[in-house]
Structure 1
């Protein structure tokens, strides 16, 4: 598998890259090649007075490359200019990435960009699975909120085609996942029928059995209320290392629209998020 790791060269990005546990998790799911990408905003130029951007950028990338190579991965680096999420998406498509990894917090001392906004824009537009790696807020020594990326997965499903596509990610996550929590949220509009409730339980148990056959300890959490709010409450209750959700696209507008539930989870979750995009139409 080939992963693209987007970095703004901030302390938060460095914390994510140098977290050996996260690199181990990527290796367990089959990643063997990592592409480091940093995007230089169009308004930043090498000749700007007072700061040697190019030298600092190359020093940081060289350090990151050494860390990743020592962890056993093949590494390529890319320095490009433009709008971060557009260039990241473009490179992901060019190299046929299986996964994009981006930090969710942190402010770059080089480009003065907030990585959180890039993560949100990527969530709206990504064409490959996206891992949003939560980093603690902190100016001096930030660290990942969860050291393990995939050890405990909270999988949110509404039984749509989109949610089923997200469930397929367990085909590779299972090599790094020990626990899974399957959460389904009934909305006030759902029928109060015994048969309907039984069907929901049966479908959740079917998915749980699949995971348990793979050696993953699985639990079921059925809730009622607003889907995004209840998924976030489930996350708070179960403390997963990552929440797995599918985006909800709309035909040719898929690149511009993201399901409101997915968007809220990406923006507000405490743990990492793995967002699985819909198929291109």
Structure 2
């Protein structure tokens, strides 16, 4: 399996790459080939202070390449120019990546806005499962907030086709997952399930699948705003990663689910794994 690891070569991204537990977790779920990507923004050009920016990035990325190779991965590096989220997405689609990994914080306030924008735009447009790897904020030496990326999963589902596709990610996550919390949020804004369809029973069916794989599972039906309730469940259950479908197929549904996933990317304490429609 292949993964794209996107980096702006900031301290935060360095923390993500150099954390051996993070790399071990990716290896545990079957990733064996890593494509390390850094994008030189298209507005950096001759005559600007960053004229040699591309050369510096090529030198810097070689250090990251060695770290990943030592962890046992085949590595290919890509230093490209353009709009970050578009180039990252394009490379992921071209190589047939199973997952794209991006840090959620840059080193400086300006870089924080840039990497934040990249993560948000990827969450809206990615065709590949996107892991937003949370790193500590407000520190000069950031570290990965959740070292064991997939050990305790929180899966939020509305039982839609896209949510079912997100649940299917457990087929490979199960090799690193020990605990799972399955949550459905009922909301007045959503017509919800048919009257004869019981969300607790549907959650129980999903839990049974996970327990067959030896994953200890709890279920909960909550009521309220989806993003708020998912984040409240994160506070209660302390997962290492939230797993959620990123959007639906219709334009309206994409907007509604997209707003929830963007809220999770922006506000979650830990990592977020977004799975787009097929």
TM-score, normalised on structure 1? Answer: 0.90
Aligned length: 277
Distance (Å, rounded) in 1 between the aligned partners of 2:110 and 2:60: 11
Whether 2:137 is the aligned partner of 1:137: answer yes
Whether 2:18 is the aligned partner of 1:5: answer no
In structure 1, stretches of 5+ residues that fail to align are none
Distance (Å, rounded) in 1 between the aligned partners of 2:188 and 2:43: 49
Whether 2:44 is the aligned partner of 1:44: answer yes
Aligned partner of 2:269 in structure 1 is: 270
User: Is 2:182–2:218's contact at 8 Å kept on the other side of the alignment?
Assistant: yes
User: Is 2:44–2:51's contact at 8 Å kept on the other side of the alignment?
Assistant: no
Deviation at 1:29, TM superposition (A): 0.4
Comparing 4-13 and 110-119, the one that deviates more: 110-119
Aligned partner of 2:103 in structure 1 is: 103
Q: Secondary structure at the match of 2:137?
A: coil
In structure 2, stretches of 5+ residues that fail to align are none
Deviation at 1:109, TM superposition (A): 9.8
Aligned partner of 1:260 in structure 2 is: 259
User: Is 1:247–1:262's contact at 8 Å kept on the other side of the alignment?
Assistant: yes
TM-score, normalised on structure 2? Answer: 0.91
Aligned partner of 2:217 in structure 1 is: 218
Distance (Å, rounded) in 2 between the aligned partners of 1:185 and 1:246: 14
How has the CA–CA distance of structure 1 residues 36 and 219 changed in structure 2, closer, same or farther, with 3 Å as cutoff? same
Q: Secondary structure at the match of 1:248?
A: coil
Deviation at 1:110, TM superposition (A): 11
Distance (Å, rounded) in 1 between the aligned partners of 2:88 and 2:140: 27
Q: Kindly provide the CA deviation profile for residues 119-162 of structure 1, in whole angstroms up to 9, marking residues without a partner as x.
A: 00000000010000001113520111111110000000111111
Aligned partner of 2:200 in structure 1 is: 201
How has the CA–CA distance of structure 1 residues 269 and 109 changed in structure 2, closer, same or farther, with 3 Å as cutoff? closer
Whether 2:212 is the aligned partner of 1:232: answer no
Comparing 18-27 and 249-258, the one that deviates more: 249-258
How has the CA–CA distance of structure 1 residues 111 and 275 changed in structure 2, closer, same or farther, with 3 Å as cutoff? closer
Q: Secondary structure at the match of 2:248?
A: coil
Aligned partner of 1:23 in structure 2 is: 23
Deviation at 1:42, TM superposition (A): 1.4
